[in-house]
Amino acid sequence: MTSSALLEVVALMRRLRAECGWKASQTHRTLARHLLEETYETLEAIESGDDDHLREELGDLLLQVLFHAAIAEQEGRFDLEDVAAGLATKLRHRNPHVFGDLVETDPVRINEAWEAAKATEKQRADLWEGIPAALPALAFASKVLDRHERAGVAAPPAPTDPDPAVAVGEELLATVERARAQGVDPEQALRDAVRRRRP
């Protein structure tokens, strides 16, 4: 792979921001829904198993990254080079088994080292800080439970509210806990289950 195609799309994005009225009018906020849509379309492409579809959707997702970087560059805040440099630094720091002196091959321990490195970078004042509230509910619940587990903090006990909605919510949360205990991604498991019911 050469960088010529990447350099070309960066140049194309700069030109489009300068010469296309619609693209020039966009902001991070107006593009937010497009970023979300492209993310979900990429997930669908992964599930389809179709390489051509996945390649195309990854390109659309890359377009969103390029678009946001071009906006920031025009405003003199940062550019794509800064984004890439930050990512390179993060990858080196969070993978000491490859770029440092940690000798490790076990995937579980490698992930633990990643999380430990991440924790030193992000000093959070709140256990839930940094968990996007807009995550799908099952993914949000799984991430919250993961944070509690890593911090060694037990979740508060379930309420005894007679409201049926509260009871169903607690049942769903208990299901997420069971899935995590079995090493199952509850969000993906539910998506797969729904697809299996498609007529």
pLDDT tens sequence across 56-80: 999 999 999 999 999 999 999 999 9
- Chain centroid, CA 120 distance in Å: 20
Mean pLDDT of the chain: 90
Rounded-to-integer distance, Cα 117 and Cα 98, Å:
13
Residue 2 is predicted with a pLDDT of: 54
DSSP 134: T
- Measured distance CA(77)–CA(170) in Å, rounded: 44
> Which class does domain 4-78 fall in?
mainly alpha
pLDDT at 124 over 90: no
3-state helix, strand, coil in the chain (%, to 5): 70, 0, 30
Amino acid at 100: G
In this structure, is the dihedral angle defined by the CA atoms of residues 20, 21, 22 and 27, taken in order, positive or negative? Answer: positive
User: Where do the structural domains in the chain lie, given as residue ranges?
Assistant: 4-78, 82-123, 126-199
Q: Which residue has the higher pLDDT, 114 or 10?
A: 10
b/e for 23-41, b at 16 or more Cβ within 10 A?
Answer: beebeeeebeeeeeebeee
Which pair of structure tokens corresponds to residue 20? 């296309």
118 has a pLDDT exceeding 70 = yes
Is the dihedral angle over the CA atoms 48, 58, 142, 152 positive or is it negative? Answer: positive
Q: What is the pLDDT of residue 1?
A: 47
Rounded Cα distance, 147 and 143, in Å = 6
Please say whether the beta carbons of 98 and 91 come within 8 A.
no
Residues 29, 140: Cα–Cα separation, whole Å: 22
Residue type present at position 79: D
Residue the block writes with tokens 């991604």: 185
Q: How far apart are CA 42 and CA 137, in angstroms?
A: 19
pLDDT reported for residue 21: 96
Share of the chain above pLDDT 70, in %: 99
